[in-house]
Structure 1
Amino acid sequence: MAVNIENVEAFVYVIHCGSFNKAAEALYLSQPSVTARIQSLERDLDCRLFDRQGKAVRITEEGRRFLPYAQQLLLTYQKGKLHVNRKKSLPEEIKIGCTVTVSNYVVPELLPRLTAHFPNTHYKFVTGTTDEIVGKVLNKEVDIGFVRGVNHPNLHSVKFYEDPISLYVYEDHPFIGMERLSVEQIARQPLVFFECGALDWLRIHRIFENLDHPPNIRIQTDNSEMAKRLVLGRTGISFLPGLSVRQEVASGKLVPLRMPETDGIALQTNVISNPGEHGQFLNEIIAIGQQFNAQ
C-alpha cells in the first residue's frame, strides 16, 4: 500500500492546528482539499481517523495510534528532502527574532534540536516585543519570528506553544495546602504583576474587577524573570506562565496554586515567517512545538 505523504501531512496539521479550517490556512489549501486528503488517508488505512460532530473534530483511537507513525513518516521524508537539497536550499545563517520570554525559556531547549537537524547552519537571535519582531519579519531583517499569538495577513503564522498561566507562591507560604482560595484572599496579598500585553492577560485583571477594593499590587513589571525572582525573594506572589518557573517548581522553591478563575488562561506563542520561505526550518520547529505541548 502506498501512502501519500501530503495526506499524512494534512492529518498531522489538523491535529496540531485543532481544526480542518486552521490546518487549511497553515497549508495554504482550501478546507475541502484538506478534507479530501484526510478521507483519502482513511481509505488507505481502512479506518476513521477523526470523529466529526458539527464543527468539532475529535481524533479517534485509531488516529491516536497512527499519530506517532505519521509524525515519524513526515520527519523521515523531511530529512530525506533535506539531504537531497541541502546545498541548494539551506542558508548558512538563519536569523530568528523572539520575545524575551522565548529567548530565556524556549531557545535553550529549541536550539540543540535545531542544530542536530541542521548542523551546518549558523544562528543569529534578536529579541524584541511582538510588534517589533513582526516588523522585522515583514522587512526581512529576520527570517523566522516567535511572537505572542497574533496573525498578520501578510505572514505565515502557526501556533507553536500554549503556556498556561497560574498563581505561584514561594515555599512555606500560608496558602499552600488550602483547599479553596478566594479572590479576596489573593487580592489582600502583596502581588507582583507580570504583564506582557497579551489579550489573555486582561483576563487576570478581570478576576479582581468585582471586588470592593483593588488588589494589593506592589510591583508591576514586563519581565517574567524579574517577577519570578521577586516571588523567590518573598516580595509577593504572582501570576506567571509555566515555562518561566519550570525549574523552580521542580525543586519545590515555587508552588503553583489552582484557581478555577484562571483555568484556560494561557499565553500563546506563534511562529511567523514570510509565506513560502524557510519551510524546512518551520516544519522542524512546529514538530518541536508539538513535543513541548505534549510535556
Structure 2
Amino acid sequence: MNIENIEAFVYINHYGSFNKAADVLYISQPTVTARIQSLERELDSKLFDRLGRQIQMTDKGKQFLPYAEQILQVYQKGKLQLQSKGTIPNELRIGSTVSVSNYVLPHLLIHLKHKYPHVQFKLTTAPTDDLIEKLKSKDIDLAFIRKVVNPVFQSYPFWDDPISLYVYEGHPLAKTGQASIRDIRKEPLVFFECGSLDWMRLHRVFENLEQPPDIVYHVDNLETAKKLVIRKAGICFLPALSTQEEVESGKLIPVEVAETAGISLRTNLITLNGENAGFIDTLLETGAAIQGNRQIV
C-alpha cells in the first residue's frame, strides 16, 4: 500500500477538499485524485462521494480513517527516528497557539519535565503565522499550530478537538441535548472565530441556510465566548477541550447538532526535519493518551 495514497486520503479529510489537500501537499489536484482512485482500488471500496462541489466521506471511508491516520503517524515517527541527530538539548523552546497553551500544555510540560528533569522548557504563545516564522528562523524548536504551510517542516497530527454547540443552564435545548442547524438559526449566536481551515467547515454549514444565523457577538477569544454564553447572551460552537470545567460544573451544556457532527479543531505538531525526535515522540504519546481519556489531569 502506497503511503502517499494514505497521506492524500488523510489530508482530504482534514482540509475538506481535494484542491486544498493538493495545495498543502504541493502536488496537483489530478495527482490527488489519482492517489485516491488508486487507494480505492487497493481497498476495493469507495472512500468519497461527490455532492456538487462538495465531497462527503463514505461509511467505508469513515471506517478506514482511524487506521489511515495511525499508519501515517507511525510512518512519520519512524522517519523522524531515522533522521534524528539523537541529542537532548539543555533547553527546549516550544511555540504554541493560545488554546493549546491554555488547555493542553500545562499537562504536557509537567510530563516532559518528569521524563527530562535536566531540560529547561521555554514556552512562546503566538498566532500560527508568527510561530512558523519563529521556527524557520530557529527561535523555537517546535510548535503546535493549526496548519502546515512549508515543506521544510515535519508535521504530525497531534490533537483532534471536536467542535460542539454549547448552551447555558436552563436553555430549552439543554433538556433535549440535540438540535438541527435550522433549530438554532434564530437563536442569538456567539460566534467564536479562530481563523483556521477547520473552522471554515462550520461556515459552510451555515451557508446552506436560507437566512444567515443571528450572530450577536463575533469574538476571537475562547474565554470571552464562554463567559458570554454562561451569562445567557447567546449560544456558541466551541472546541470541547476548552469547556471541560464548565460542563462538569453544569454552567455549559453540550448540544448535538447533526449537521456539524465530525467537525473538529485540529492541531499539528511541527518541527524542522530531523530534529528533536525524542521530545516529539514523548509529546505524541502523551497527547494520544490524553485524548484517549478525553481529559487533562
**1:238-286 Cα deviation digits (max 9, x unpaired):** 0000110011111111110001111110111111111111111111101
Change (3 A) 1:229 1:17: farther
CA distance in 2, matches of 1:294, 1:179: 23
- The answer for the alignment partner of 1:27 in structure 2 is 78
Q: Which letter maps to 2:264?
A: A
Match of 1:90 in 2: 88
- 2:69 corresponding residue in structure 1: 18
Q: What is the DSSP-based 3-state SS (H/G/I as helix, E as strand, rest coil) of the residue aligned with 1:231?
A: helix
| 1:199 counterpart letter in structure 2 | L
Structure 1 residue 20 displacement after superposition: 3.7
Q: Give the share of equivalent positions with the same residue, in percent.
A: 43
Structure 1: distance between partners of 2:148 and 2:236: 25
Question: Superposed, which structure 2 residues align to 1:70-81 within 5 Å?
Answer: none
Measured after TM superposition, the shift of residue 212 of structure 1 is 2.8
Coordinate RMSD, CA, aligned: 2.1
Q: Is the 8 A contact 2:179 2:258 kept in 1?
A: no
Residues 136-184 of structure 1: per-residue CA shift (max 9 Å, x gap): 1111010110001436310111111100000001111111122652323
Alignment partners' CA distance in 2, 1:89 and 1:16? 31
* TM-superposition CA deviations, 1:200-258 (whole Å, max 9, x none): 21121222223232111011112112111111121111000011001111111111000
Deviation at 1:293, TM superposition (A): 2.0
Greater gyration radius: 1
Q: Secondary structure at the match of 2:269?
A: strand
Q: How does 1:152-191 map to 2 (within 5 A)?
A: 152-178=150-176, 180-191=178-189
Matches of 1:121 and 1:21 in 2, distance apart?
Answer: 29
Give the secondary-structure state (helix, strand or coil) at the position aligned to 2:150.
Answer: coil
Deviation at 1:195, TM superposition (A): 1.0
CA distance in 2, matches of 1:159, 1:16: 13
| Aligned residue type for 2:286 | I
1:22 deviation in Å?
Answer: 5.2
Closer, same or farther: CA 160–180 of 1 in aligned 2, 3 Å? closer
Does the CA-based 8 Å contact 2:189-2:216 persist in structure 1? yes
Aligned partner of 1:148 among 146, 155, 163? 146
In structure 1, the residue matched to 2:110 is 112
- The residue number in structure 2 matching 1:125 is 123
- Find the partner of 1:193 among 172, 187, 191: 191
Deviations 1:66-100 (A, max 9, x none): xxxxxxxxxxxxxxxxxxxxxx9322221111000
Contact 1:164 1:264 in 2 (8 A): yes
Tell me the distance in 2 between the aligned counterparts of 1:252 and 1:145. Answer: 33
Amino acid at match of 2:216: R
Aligned residue number for residue 290 of structure 1: 288
Partners of 2:161 and 2:239 within 8 A in 1: yes
Partners of 1:119 and 1:22 lie apart in 2 by: 27
**Matched residues, number:** 224
Cα separation, 2, equivalents of 1:91 and 1:22: 24
Q: Distance in 1 between matches of 2:177 and 2:276?
A: 49
With CA pairs under 8 Å and 6+ residues apart, which has the higher RCO, 1 or 2? 2
Q: Which residue number corresponds to residue 260 of structure 1?
A: 258
Deviation at 1:16, TM superposition (A): 8.2
Letter in 2 for 1:27: G
> What TM-score does the superposition give when structure 1 sets the normalisation length?
0.71
TM-score (norm. length: structure 2) = 0.70
Tell me the secondary structure at the aligned position of residue 130 of structure 2: helix
Q: Distance in 2 between matches of 1:180 and 1:228?
A: 19
In the alignment, which of 241, 263, 271 is matched to residue 243 of structure 1? 241
Aligned to 1:68: none
